[in-house]
A = this chain, B = another copy of it.
């Protein structure tokens, strides 16, 4: 087996794993989208558990979190800065001035924008430092790269999906 062949194999593996992480992210986006397009609007006004966030609030939170990937991954500034506070604050502290349909449209748009920008990122881009870690810290912890952020934000969707399922009939999900 030639050296060139070995290089191609290794580079192909790296590229494949990055695509797997992207595919993992896309799957989570699809599942959240399925939730927010599969029920009537009354469902989304409900709290996922007593005294906890409503599904509608969680949608604003998810949009704000995804939008925050733009500055964090060096992909530009937020598209919806007015939603930025929803990334951190719990419900009750913030008033939501958008309708469900407006939020849903932002959800589609932000994920579409991210896909376009992700498509242009190289292996080295994914393995580079994200903007919430200093150059110094990154030298010591090279895993704090952009790919890691994507993996974690994919899991972040799964976390909230674990809560959103409480609004749908019990038989359908654990």
On A, residues with C-beta under 8 Å from B are 3-4, 6-7, 10-11, 13-14, 16-21, 23-24, 28, 48-53, 61, 90, 123, 127, 142-143, 145, 147-148, 151-152, 154-156, 158-163, 166, 170, 174
Bound: A13/B15 CA distance, A: 10
CB neighbours (8 Å) of A151 from chain B are: 20-21, 24, 151
Find chain B residues with CB under 8 A from A145 CB: 20
Report chain B residues within 8 Å CB of A152: 24
| Distance in angstroms between the alpha carbons of A54 and B18 in the assembled complex | 36
Cα of A51 to Cα of B4 in the assembled complex, Å:
59
Residue pair B16, A49 in contact (C-beta under 8 Å): no
Nearest chain-B residue to A47 (Cβ)?
B49
Q: Which 6 interchain pairs have the tightest Cβ spacing?
A: A162-B162, A10-B10, A159-B162, A49-B49, A155-B158, A7-B7
Please report the C-alpha to C-alpha distance between residue A58 and residue B4 in the assembled complex, in whole angstroms.
Answer: 49
Contact A24 B147 (CB under 8 A): no
List B contacts of A123 (CB < 8 A).
13
Is the Cβ of B142 less than 8 Å from the Cβ of A16? yes
Residues of chain B lying within 8 A (CB to CB) of residue A28 = 155
Bound-state Cα–Cα, A61 to B162, Å: 14
Q: Look across to chain B and name the residue whose beta carbon is closest to the beta carbon of A159.
A: B162
Contact of A7 among B10, B127, B142 (CB under 8 A): B10
Given the interface pairs A3-B4, A14-B14, A163-B163, the reply to whether A20 lies near B158 with Cβ below 8 Å is: no
Residues of B with C-beta under 8 A to A24: 148, 151-152, 155
CB neighbours (8 Å) of A163 from chain B are: 162-163, 166
Q: In the complex, how many angstroms separate the beta carbon of A31 from the nearest chain B beta carbon?
A: 10
